[in-house]
């Protein structure tokens, strides 16, 4: 009876059955092959099963079989494209979860963010990751473009890939900008108001385009819904589509470019052979990608956990424009341009030309060479454009070329309408009631009754005094008197009134500027 | 080790650390969320305080002490202990404040002491009823007003405020002192001066410095203004009711009266 059972044969059949199942799931890789992959051993079968999966499996089909050794050199690509996609994935995942908690209406939007922060475990982390990922995606896509330009990797068969890349950059900016409005706070509301007001300046159909985007002359319920749908449906859909095209060309058609020297210098056959050696997707590229992903996740979660908080200001108030309103940082260059001239010319026509030129770079630049010294004009223009964008961005800051009256500026810097500012960073216990006068009160001993004094209040007060005196010397605040009054207003609530009185040089009248700032004990601003 | 193995090794270390950070965050989440709630409540009070300064203090006083003859105090013990029972309110104080602020008051409940600012006694504030404030702003106002509870019930004493109007004694210019008084003593709640206040209960004072002389025969502009403050009923401008607080002058000093008169005279 026992003899009739052949265990070896049974075992073999079981192994075979398991092997068949595994191969179905892994699109052709056996268990032994999987082990060999992770151990860095050579392929176990012939023909190479690691290449076969690229035909049999969809997910592997859209990945490259291999890259050439030299094109994977870190300082050639800096992995910028990879991380752009990494951030996009982060955005999709965190975005899907955030959508559960968000309601796109002016009445509910801000409250739903507060609820996310105060009632959802990991809610703040999700929001921080989503925001940080958005910034990262903009930064990395721009850097990726710059790298591609400087290494001349947009030429010949790669020119269409470049073109899809520029579309992806626009989609990235659109995604980031449309998401900006969703928290419905002052920062969001006014930044987007500025941004969309640009559209209005478009010739012929400006008013209509603006109306289409905002849903009403001003951003309201309709505008919010439109931005929301742009943000979660249209732009992500276009993004995935364009990204697929962009990536498929890299993975399946022309691969990552080799560093130019391997194409254009006379190098020995040995060097060239090593440079063109295949680095297979399985296992080398995929482990590298998994490693980069874990590195990226670690860095993002580490930063969000300990250093970064996505900004959230007061709820949007269409009746009140904060003093230093500005666009998101990646549109500062546009704000800077607007200060230089006409809204239609600077806000619409020139940017359109700029993006048009970006699209056309591979078609304008017919120089076949890729090494930097063989294309000096292109490299110089690229660097010049980069510097111009940086300078324009600086000019876009509200501090540049916008005359704010001295007294307003000083008090605004001390305690901005939105955001933190030095005054709000003072610990509550140090806000001792009293009338503190610039150049009268002893700035080193403002709170003699307090055992440990109030060093942080003193620092802020000294700075305030300094700026007042500076402005007086420069003649911007003649005959100035300045105070800082701190009053206990309610239990756990103080009112701080910085007040500046000066003589207006033109009319000779005494003028007063003051702000009332209320600070509550529990409003811990370190969060 | 091959590069593949190195990357697997360090990748796993990174994932472990990331997991540890997530667990660390998870442990602290309850506390973080509770803190955010506190932070949120505090911010609401700050926002409410700002809104009160802009919208309410004209009638209810700089610090909610009320203005006799106009609007009741909001910072006294009665408001927190007896008010709801007196009006027979079913909900809590927050509901009461939100309801009152939103819909205003057609007529005063205490017409002898606090007749309010004409009809309606208190305007509607909610944008639902034609007022200027959104629901979240009215909630913030309620949070600020409720925060008077501790001082109203005597549980907390505030440090003595150096002056009713901070820094007023430091102002050299009588006109500046007068302006500060005008804003702080409730005048601004009922009277309008273009660019300073928008009250519509009493006569517009934008040009009172010139029009005052023509009001009562034999009075100079200064005499007329002074009398109108000391005895508001002496002369009532056509189209207005005798609503101004009769005892207003008792709330300010002799010198302050002079400043206020000088300030009003300068409105030409």
Tell me the DSSP string of A241-281.
Answer: HHHHHHHHIIIIII-SPPPHHHHHS---HHHHHHHT-EEEI
Domain match, A383 and A412 both: no
Q: Tens digit of pLDDT for each residue in A80-118?
A: 999 999 999 999 999 999 999 999 999 899 999 999 999
Average pLDDT value for residue range A339-348: 85
Q: Do A490 and B147 touch (CB under 8 A)?
A: yes
Average pLDDT over residues B1-24: 93
pLDDT band at A385 (very low <50, low <70, confident <90, very high): very high
- Residue B163 in any domain: the answer is no
Contact A294 B29 (CB under 8 A): no
Residue A241 and residue A333 in one domain: yes
The angle formed by the CA atoms of residues A513, A514 and A520, to the nearest 5 degrees, is 165
CB–CB of B21 and A287 under 8 A?
no
Is residue B175 in some structural domain? yes
Listed residues B123, B158, B193: the one ending a domain: B158
Element (H, E) at B77: helix B77-81
Which chain B residues are closer than 8 Å to A523 by Cβ?
Answer: 39, 42-43, 46
Residues A89 and A47 occupy one common structural domain:
no
At B216, is the pLDDT very low, low, confident or very high (cuts 50, 70, 90)?
A: confident
Instruction: Residue A472: give the domain boundaries.
Output: 406-520
Asked, for residue A450, whether it belongs to a domain, the answer is yes
CA A23, A25, A26, A27 dihedral sign is positive
Choose the closest CB to A510 out of B2, B147, B173: B173
A181-187 mean pLDDT: 93
Domain-ending residue, one of B115, B138, B158: B158
Instruction: State whether B173 and B192 are in the same domain.
Output: yes
Average of pLDDT values for A148-166? 94
- Residue-level pLDDT at A233: 97
Chain A residues touching B156 at Cβ < 8 A: 491
Residue B18 to residue A301, Cβ atoms within 8 A: yes
Q: What percent of chain B has pLDDT over 90?
A: 38
Q: What is the DSSP letter of A70?
A: G
Q: What are phi and psi of B265, to 5 degrees?
A: -60, -30
Q: Are strands A481-490 and A434-437 parallel, antiparallel or unpaired?
A: antiparallel
Task: Taking residues A339-361, report their average pLDDT.
Answer: 89
**pLDDT reported for residue A4:** 67
Query: Quick check: is A490 in a domain?
Result: yes
Asked whether residue A21 is domain-assigned, the answer is: yes
Give which of A414, A425, A412 is closest to A455, Cα–Cα. A425
**A213-242 per-position pLDDT tens digit:** 888 888 999 999 999 999 999 999 999 999
B35 touches chain A (CB under 8 A): yes
- Same domain (yes/no): B187, B70: no
Nearest CA in chain A to B39: A523
CATH of the domain at B219: 1.10.760.10
- Residue B165 pLDDT > 60: no
B262 touching chain A per CB within 8 A? no
Q: Are residues B87 and B182 in the same domain?
A: no
**Is residue B11 over pLDDT 90?**
yes
For chain A positions 92-111, those within 8 Å of chain B (CB to CB) are 107, 110-111
Q: Does B36 touch chain A if contact means CB atoms closer than 8 Å?
A: yes
Whether A131 has a pLDDT exceeding 70, the answer reads yes
Residues B92 and B143 in one domain: yes
Cβ separation A295–B36 shorter than 8 A: no
Based on the structure, what is the number of domains in chain A? 3
The band of A527, judged by pLDDT with boundaries at 50, 70 and 90, is very low
Structural domain ending residue among the three candidates A45, A61, A77? A61
Asked if B5 and B135 sit in the same domain, the reply is yes
* Among A38, A125, A488, beta carbon nearest to B25: A125
Given A396, A415, A448, which residue is the final one in a domain? A396
Work out the minimum CA distance from B222 to partner chain A, whole angstroms: 22
Residues B55 and B101 in one domain: yes
d(CA A235, CA A227): 10
ipTM score here? 0.88
Per DSSP, the residues of A319-372 read T---TT----GGGHHHHHHHTTS-HIIIIIIHHHHHHHHHHHHHHH------SG
Residue A76 clears pLDDT 70, i.e. is over it:
yes
Q: Find the CB nearest B166 among A284, A290, A485.
A: A485
Query: What pLDDT score was predicted for residue A417?
Result: 81
Burial of A269 (0-12, 13-18, 19+ CB in 10 A): exposed
Answer whether residue A458 shows pLDDT above 60: yes
Instruction: Examine the fold and report which residue of B158, B176, B201 is the final residue of a domain before the chain moves on.
Output: B158
| CA pair distance B35, A526, nearest whole angstrom | 11
Claim to verify: residue B103 and residue B183 sit in the same structural domain:
no
Q: What is the pLDDT of residues B123-152, one digit of tens each?
A: 999 999 999 999 999 999 999 999 999 998
Highest mean pLDDT (candidates A291-295, B110-114, B176-180, B199-203): A291-295
Across all residues in chain A, what is the average pLDDT?
A: 90
Region A125-149: mean pLDDT is 96
Low-confidence winner among A280-289, A345-354, A478-487, B193-202 (lowest mean pLDDT): B193-202
Cβ distance B161 to A435 less than 8 Å, yes or no, reads no
- In this prediction, residue B164 carries a pLDDT of 43
What is the band of A56 on the pLDDT scale with cuts at 50, 70, 90?
confident
Query: Which range has highest mean pLDDT (A224-228, B205-209, B253-257)?
Result: A224-228
- Vertex A212, ends A207 and A217: CA angle to 5°? 60
Q: Is 50 exceeded by the pLDDT of residue B154?
A: yes
Q: Does the model's pTM come out above 0.90?
A: no
* pLDDT higher than 90, residue B32: yes
**A416 with A483, same domain?**
yes
- Kindly state whether residue A527 falls inside one of the protein's structural domains: no
Number of Cβ atoms within 10 Å of the Cβ of B243: 17
End-to-end CA distance of chain A: give it in Å, rounded.
76
pLDDT at residue B69 is higher than 90: no
A401 burial (CB, 10 Å; 0-12 / 13-18 / 19+) is exposed
Pick A444 or A377 by higher pLDDT: A377
* Alpha carbon of A437: minimum distance to chain B alpha carbons (Å): 9
- pLDDT category at A477 given cuts 50, 70, 90 is confident
What integer pLDDT is reported at residue A514 of this predicted model?
A: 85
Contacts B142 to A, Cβ<8 Å = none
Give me the residue from B42, B159, B161 closest to A521, CB to CB.
B42
Cα separation, A251 vs A264, in Å, equals 23
Q: Considering CB atoms only, which of B63, B167, B175 is closest to A489?
A: B63
Q: Sorting pLDDT into bands at 50, 70 and 90, what band is B178?
A: confident
Question: Is residue A401 in a domain?
Answer: no
> Are residues A48 and A129 located together in one domain of the fold?
no
Residues A338 and A460 grouped into a single domain: no
CA dihedral A257, A261, A262, A267 (to 10 degrees): 180
Q: Tell me: do A388 and A484 sit in the same domain.
A: no
Same domain? A452 vs A377: no
Put simply, whether A520 touches B (Cβ < 8 Å) is yes
With contacts defined as CB-CB under 8 Å, which chain A residues touch B38?
522
- The answer to whether residues B46 and B174 belong to one domain is no
Q: Considering the domain boundaries, does residue B82 fall inside one?
A: yes
pLDDT of residue A303: 96
* B116, B15: one domain: yes
Find residues 99-128 of chain B whose CB sits inside 8 Å of chain A: none
Domain count within chain B: 2
CB contact, 8 Å: B254 with chain A?
no
What's the confidence (pLDDT) of residue B167? 56
Candidate from A121, A314, A491 with C-beta closest to B147: A491
Whether residues A35 and A77 share a domain: the answer is: no
Model confidence at B160, pLDDT cuts 50, 70, 90, reads: low
Q: Do A85 and A55 sit in the same domain of this protein?
A: no
pLDDT at residue A53 greater than cutoff 90: no
pLDDT band at residue A306 under the 50/70/90 scheme:
very high
| Over residues A403-428, mean pLDDT | 85
Question: What is the structure's pLDDT at A525?
Answer: 62
Is the Cβ pair B4, A290 closer than 8 Å?
A: no
Contact in structure between A294 and A62 (CB atoms under 8 Å): no
| Sign of the alpha-carbon dihedral angle for A197, A203, A209, A211 | positive
A419 pLDDT above the threshold of 80: no
Structural domain harbouring B92? 1-158
Does A525 map to a domain? no
Of residues B41, B46, B167, nearest to A499 (C-beta): B167
Question: Quick one: B60 and B176 in the same domain?
Answer: no
3-state secondary structure of B111: coil
Examine the pLDDT at A3 and tell me if it is beyond 70: no
Local confidence band at A444 (pLDDT 50, 70, 90 cut-offs): confident
Residue A301 at interface with chain B, using a CB cutoff of 8 Å: yes
């Amino acid at each position: 009876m026992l003899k009739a059972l052949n265990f070896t044969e049974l075992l073999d059949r079981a192994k075979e059955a398991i092997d068949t199942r595994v191969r179905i799931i892994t699109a052709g890789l056996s268990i032994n092959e999987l082990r060999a992959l992770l151990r860095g051993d050579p392929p176990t079968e012939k023909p190479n099963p690691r290449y076969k999966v690229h035909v049999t499996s969809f997910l592997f089909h859209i990945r490259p079989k291999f890259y050439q050794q030299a094109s994977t050199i870190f300082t050639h690509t800096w992995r910028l494209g990879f991380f752009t996609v990494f951030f996009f994935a982060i955005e999709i995942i965190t975005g899907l979860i955030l959508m559960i908690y968000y309601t796109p209406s002016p009445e509910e939007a801000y409250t739903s963010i507060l609820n996310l922060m105060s009632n959802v475990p990991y809610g703040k982390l999700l929001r921080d990751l989503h925001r940080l990922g958005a910034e990262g995606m903009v930064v990395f896509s721009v850097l990726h473009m710059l790298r591609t330009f400087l290494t001349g990797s947009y030429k010949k068969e790669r020119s269409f890939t470049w073109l899809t890349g520029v579309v992806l950059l626009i989609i990235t900016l659109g995604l980031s900008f449309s998401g900006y409005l969703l928290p419905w706070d002052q920062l969001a509301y006014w930044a987007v108001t500025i941004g969309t007001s640009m559209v209005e300046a478009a010739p012929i159909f400006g008013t209509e385009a603006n109306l289409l985007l905002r849903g009403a002359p001003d951003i309201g319920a309709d505008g919010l819904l439109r931005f929301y749908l742009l943000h979660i449906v249209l732009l992500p859909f276009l993004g995935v589509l364009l990204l697929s095209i962009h990536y498929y060309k890299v993975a399946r058609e022309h691969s990552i470019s080799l560093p130019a020297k391997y194409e254009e210098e006379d190098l020995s056959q040995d060097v060239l052979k090593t440079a063109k050696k295949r680095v297979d997707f399985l296992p080398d590229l995929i482990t590298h990608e998994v490693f980069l992903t874990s590195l990226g996740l670690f860095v993002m979660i580490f930063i969000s956990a300990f250093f970064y908080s996505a900004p959230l200001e007061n709820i949007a108030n269409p009746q009140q424009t904060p003093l230093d309103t500005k666009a998101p940082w990646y549109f500062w260059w546009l704000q800077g341009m607007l200060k230089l001239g006409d809204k239609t010319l600077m806000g619409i026509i020139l940017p359109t030309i700029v993006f048009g030129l970006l699209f056309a770079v591979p078609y304008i630049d017919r120089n076949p060479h890729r090494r930097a010294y063989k294309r000096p004009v292109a490299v110089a223009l690229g660097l010049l454009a980069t510097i111009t964008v940086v300078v324009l961005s600086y000019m876009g800051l509200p501090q540049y070329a916008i005359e704010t009256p001295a007294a307003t500026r000083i008090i605004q810097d001390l305690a901005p309408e939105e955001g933190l500012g030095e005054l709000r960073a003072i610990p509550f216990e140090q806000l001792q009631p009293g009338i503190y006068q610039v150049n009268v009160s002893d700035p080193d001993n403002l709170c003699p009754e307090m055992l440990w004094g109030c060093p942080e209040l003193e620092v802020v007060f000294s700075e305030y005094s300094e700026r007042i005196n500076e402005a007086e010397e420069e003649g911007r605040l003649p005959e100035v008197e300045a105070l800082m009054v701190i009053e206990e207003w309610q239990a756990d609530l103080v009112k701080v009134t910085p007040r500046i009185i000066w003589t207006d040089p033109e009319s000779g009248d005494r003028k007063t500027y003051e702000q009332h700032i209320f600070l509550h004990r529990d409003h811990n601003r370190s969060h | 080790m091959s590069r593949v193995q190195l990357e697997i090794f360090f990748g796993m270390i990174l994932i472990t650390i990331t997991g540890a950070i997530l667990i660390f965050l998870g442990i602290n989440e309850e506390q973080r969320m509770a803190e955010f709630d506190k932070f949120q409540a505090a911010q609401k009070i700050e926002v409410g305080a700002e809104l009160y300064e802009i919208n309410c203090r004209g009638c209810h006083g700089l610090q909610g002490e009320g203005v006799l003859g106009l609007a009741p105090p909001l910072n006294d013990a009665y408001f927190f202990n007896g008010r709801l029972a007196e009006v027979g309110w079913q909900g809590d104080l927050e509901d009461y404040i939100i309801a009152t602020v939103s819909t205003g008051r057609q007529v005063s409940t205490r017409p002898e002491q606090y007749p309010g600012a004409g009809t309606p006694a208190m305007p509607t504030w909610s944008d639902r009823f034609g007022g200027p404030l959104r629901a979240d702003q009215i909630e913030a106002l309620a949070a600020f007003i409720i925060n008077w509870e501790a001082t109203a019930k005597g549980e907390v004493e505030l440090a003595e405020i150096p002056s009713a109007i901070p820094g007023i004694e430091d102002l050299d210019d009588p006109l500046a002192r007068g302006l500060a008084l005008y804003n702080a003593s409730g005048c601004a709640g009922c009277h309008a001066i273009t660019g300073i206040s928008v009250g519509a209960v009493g006569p517009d004072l934008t040009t009172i410095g010139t029009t005052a002389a023509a009001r009562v025969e034999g009075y100079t502009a200064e005499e007329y203004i002074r009398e109108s403050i000391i005895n508001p009923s002496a002369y009532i401008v056509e189209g207005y009711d005798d609503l101004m607080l009769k005892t207003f002058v008792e709330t300010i000093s002799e010198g302050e009266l002079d400043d206020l008169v000088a300030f009003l005279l300068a409105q030409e």
